[in-house]
Amino acid sequence: MEALIVAHGLQKYFGTFHVLQDIDFSIRKGEVVCIIGPSGSGKSTFLRCINQLESIEGGYVSVDGEIAGYRRDGNHLYPLSDREIARQRQSVGMVFQRFHLFPHRTVLENIIEGPVGVQKRRKQQCTEEARALLKRVGLAHKADAYPGELSGGQQQRVAIARALAMKPKAMLFDEPTSALDPELVGEVLGVMKELAATGTTMIVVTHELGFCREVADRVVFMDAGRIIETGTPAEILENPTNPRVKSFISAVL
């Protein structure tokens, strides 16, 4: 099957610091890929490049055949306008480490903001879909609450519903459980497992190796801005060959 998201020769700098070095990556439709690695290895930055929250200095990212941020004409790339980039972003949902729900909107308003405000779909239908999504993440009774009234785990589940409401082709998770109290991690991972089981294409940056082992089709290990190993969870987590991977896994477990 053809790849849904592709990164090829991706280069990214913060000033003179080479954050992402020559990243080659691809994910097929319906696949779940976990990205693991030490802090500062560029995992989150890579995820943000896919969603164009970061600019890239070399190479390209493409989502469903469209090069991110550009219109391709033969071998010429023409930068897209703000509006067109916004349209491209709609095909990829993003879940942030610190949720970033809109605190001045209720849970339901958070979820329908995208479909109604941006996609201009009918409010009544979107509201029904939003309620169905809330039910799916187990928060049907919190539709009219404000984010400030929810626990971290509940907020993150709403954030997942908000991203799903856009009907994205793929979902990106940027350390979705790292800001949560340990007892709340399970409820968020539970929702993500359900998403994975129903065929959602997912890229998950995480430190939850148990989740990787259980859910991931592939695990990617990043260190110092490079992908240094890729393989099945068994290959990476049980029998790592690379010494850097080996020491990381043993330190985390």
Partner 1 sequence: MSDTRLADPGQFVVVPRRKIGTKILALVFITMLILLARAFWLGDIAWSYVGENLFSKAVMAGVVNTIIMTFCAMALGILLGVLAAVMRMSDNPVLRSVSVGYIWLFRGTPALLQLLLWFNLALIFPTIGIPGLFSLRTVDVMTPFVAAFLGLGIQQGAYTAEVVRAGILSIDKGQTEAALSIGMTKLRATLKIVLPQAMRVIVPPIGNETIGMVKLTSLASVIQYSEVLRSVEDIYYVNSRVIELLIVAAMWYMAVVTVLSIAQMYIERYFSKGWGASGRNETTPAPQTTVEEAA
Interacting residues toward partner 1 by CB under 8 A: 51, 53, 82-83, 86-87, 89-90, 92-94, 96, 98, 100-106, 113-114, 117-119, 146-149, 159, 162-163, 165-166
Q: Which is nearer to partner 1, 63 or 237 (CB)?
A: 63
Report in angstroms how near the CB of residue 119 gets to partner 1 at its nearest. 7
Q: Are 49 and 6 in contact (CB under 8 A)?
A: no
Of 83, 116, 97, the C-alpha closest to 44 is 97
Report in angstroms how near the CB of residue 54 gets to partner 1 at its nearest. 10
Q: Can you tell me whether residue 105 is helix, strand or coil?
A: coil
CA distance 244 to 145: 45
Q: Are 242 and 221 in contact (CB under 8 A)?
A: yes
Report in angstroms how near the CB of residue 35 gets to partner 1 at its nearest. 18
Report in angstroms how near the CB of residue 251 gets to partner 1 at its nearest. 29
Q: Which is nearer to partner 1, 62 or 106 (CB)?
A: 106
Angle at 215 between CA 183 and CA 239, to 5 degrees: 105
Q: Which two tokens stand for residue 151?
A: 């626990």
DSSP string, 171-190: EEEESTTTTS-HHHHHHHHH
Q: Which is nearer to partner 1, 94 or 212 (CB)?
A: 94
Q: Which is nearer to partner 1, 132 or 197 (CB)?
A: 132
Q: Which two tokens stand for residue 61?
A: 């990212």
Q: Which is nearer to partner 1, 164 or 191 (CB)?
A: 164
Report in angstroms how near the CB of residue 147 gets to partner 1 at its nearest. 7
Sign of CA dihedral 32, 184, 168, 98: negative
Of 42, 37, 4, 44, the C-alpha closest to 22 is 42
DSSP string, 22-38: EEEEEEETT-EEEEE--
CA distance 75 to 154: 46
Q: Which is nearer to partner 1, 21 or 97 (CB)?
A: 97
CA distance 90 to 17: 30
Q: Which is nearer to partner 1, 85 or 228 (CB)?
A: 85
Report in angstroms how near the CB of residue 25 gets to partner 1 at its nearest. 19
Report in angstroms how near the CB of residue 82 gets to partner 1 at its nearest. 5
